[in-house]
Amino acid sequence: MCVCKFMVCGAYVCVHSVCVHVCCMCVCVCVCVCGVLCVWCVCVFNPQLLPSARSAVQRYQSQGGVISEPCSFGRDPLESNDVKQGIRYETFCSRYSFMSLFCEVSNGSETTFKDALKFVIDVTYRLAHST
């Protein structure tokens, strides 16, 4: 018997202890095994729900917020170099697996994810400053 009782909005389907919920913001897959609930949730954001960066800045500033411009946060220093992007990706994949990172984070362990994030930052920095 399924112990899954999630329902925010949208559709709900439950067949043989596997439930799939589809709502306006995410798709959740719940697997109930021996009364234990495991949940995987994949969020799919509608870009139309979010303001543009320019609009968000204007709103923030209109409320008294201060932003230092120009800001390099969020910009990939390798964005114009496909070769170095490929090197970064291959270097990352040789050390980490996206699936294992996902599984560890979804099970409450973020240590490896933090290490992987630091690794990507370090590799990006080294590649951006190499010739």
- For the chain, the domains span 11-43, 77-131
What span, in angstroms and rounded, lies between the C-alpha atoms of 51 and 34?
44
pLDDT truncated to tens, each residue of the chain (131 aa)?
A: 344 444 444 444 444 455 555 555 555 555 555 444 455 555 555 667 777 888 888 888 899 988 776 656 678 899 999 999 999 999 999 999 988 888 888 888 889 999 999 999 999 999 999 97
What span, in angstroms and rounded, lies between the C-alpha atoms of 27 and 10?
10
pLDDT of residue 72: 64
C-alpha distances out from residue 102 to 4, 10, 65, 98, 110, Å? 22, 25, 35, 6, 9
Model's pTM, two decimal places? Answer: 0.47
pLDDT of residue 5: 46
pLDDT of residue 128: 94
